[in-house]
Structure 1
């Protein structure tokens, strides 16, 4: 059983590995990128993933040799017992290959299906977000605090799709939740990737984020950051969230109940 001191000792190595992968991806980035066909898009995504995941895997396995490695960043569901590295080599890859700056690199250590350490690097801004369970959430060493807002009608909220190719039922729930939240919140944004909205919730710049379906690598990093910043995590009905949950909600503590009231109406 590891403790917070062990994870604190591990954190600098994870930061270094994640930043190195981010720096390499930045060297591959161009604001002038213009892709045409679906085949070109898929090829560019796979090329980016291969470049980044190789660096991440080598560095993280060296930092924690006994931890397992999740090969596919689009996997869902519970993990086997023990420690696992869950990464997204280029979260927001679709943005990277289209010349947009909103993408990141994430690495999260999961212990018995609970995220215990995470690093999120934003290469285009140089920002690095970190969190250790029980140790707080930070942006480049500065402590993060979730929003203190108390009214949903003053809230900036957001959602987005977990991945391409979701089923029609998931699309329906996304659409209905957007309509419901547009009536309750101040402003709503819909964008990808999830982590780039969740870091804003952790930093108190945004107030609520939710998502139907789930991809582990898109939620684990942000979930830990939000919790350690004082926000609340659950499913959209207010029940405890886990990797077995069907949907996800992160909210400022004072807005969680109101968010559940709105989103729990979506069948």
Structure 2
């Protein structure tokens, strides 16, 4: 059943990517708020209208998470969490970092994930307990052990932050800039987590743990990464934030971030 679901989901997400590519142009320039939000909604609808009926039909009785920016526990049973266009703002402004993510959450735990970056044609997939893959090839996290040579990053989890979260994000970035080789602050978050999973980046952290991160976190875990909350406890869907990293630099990164957030 899971093999069938993964194959089906991968094909659907690839088709959604092809549809978004038809509306993508590196020359796109948005000038008004009306145009911006209309285009964002159109992109989301393009993906959701394709994926929603097909994914719900593929798992009998499954539900659909309507807010990919929600936090906290999820109900029992099977639920699809879809990030229609991760990095939607990038897409509509002609930038390259955007993707489509679909995750099946079963009884509060991610079961499978498909994350597709159409412009690079990279299809990231993972199943719980089954490893992580990019275009069918198994991927693993970085083998680095020195945070001083680590590529790290964070990003804006959702459109707005509370003042306290914004201050914490700034403090954590400043602290990591003084310790790691490189710090990237960008969206989509799923893109950075995929880079950690395949060993291109070494650390990603978030002060918020929103629905759209659930699948990409599974990618990192299945690729051999360590994902904990800021107390060092294993990541859960109810965690308020997390650090996802290669095992050799996770502890050092966690200590830097905890010190910055005290």
> Structure 1 length as normaliser, TM-score?
0.95
**1:64 aligned residue:** 59
> In 1, distance between residues paired with 2:39 and 2:68?
16
Contact 1:88–1:107 (CA under 8 A) maintained in structure 2: yes
Displacement of 1:125 in angstroms is: 1.5
Displacement of 1:119 in angstroms is: 0.3
Paired residue secondary structure (1:264): helix
How many pairs are equivalent?
261
> In 2, distance between residues paired with 1:248 and 1:255?
14
> In 2, distance between residues paired with 1:130 and 1:61?
19
> In 2, distance between residues paired with 1:71 and 1:165?
18
User: What are structure 1's unaligned runs of at least 5 residues?
Assistant: 1-5
Deviations 1:166-196 (A, max 9, x none): 1111110000001110111111111001000
**2:192 aligned residue:** 197
| 1:248 correspondence with 2:242 | yes
**1:180 aligned residue:** 175
In the alignment, which of 117, 120, 143 is matched to residue 122 of structure 1? 117
Displacement of 1:236 in angstroms is: 2.5
> In 2, distance between residues paired with 1:257 and 1:13?
38
**1:9 aligned residue:** 4
**1:137 aligned residue:** 132
> In 2, distance between residues paired with 1:14 and 1:130?
10
User: What are structure 2's unaligned runs of at least 5 residues?
Assistant: none
Alignment of 1:41-60 (within 5 A): 41-60=36-55
| 1:97 correspondence with 2:92 | yes
**2:225 aligned residue:** 231
Paired residue secondary structure (2:244): strand
Displacement of 1:222 in angstroms is: 1.1
Displacement of 1:39 in angstroms is: 2.4
Displacement of 1:77 in angstroms is: 1.5
> In 1, distance between residues paired with 2:173 and 2:238?
24
| 1:161 correspondence with 2:190 | no
**2:253 aligned residue:** 259
Displacement of 1:7 in angstroms is: 1.4
What do you get for the CA RMSD once the two structures are aligned?
1.0
Displacement of 1:26 in angstroms is: 0.8
> In 2, distance between residues paired with 1:10 and 1:200?
24
Displacement of 1:148 in angstroms is: 0.6
**Which aligned segments of 4 or more residues in structure 1 are displaced greater than 4 angstroms?**
none
> In 2, distance between residues paired with 1:48 and 1:65?
27
Contact 1:234–1:241 (CA under 8 A) maintained in structure 2: yes
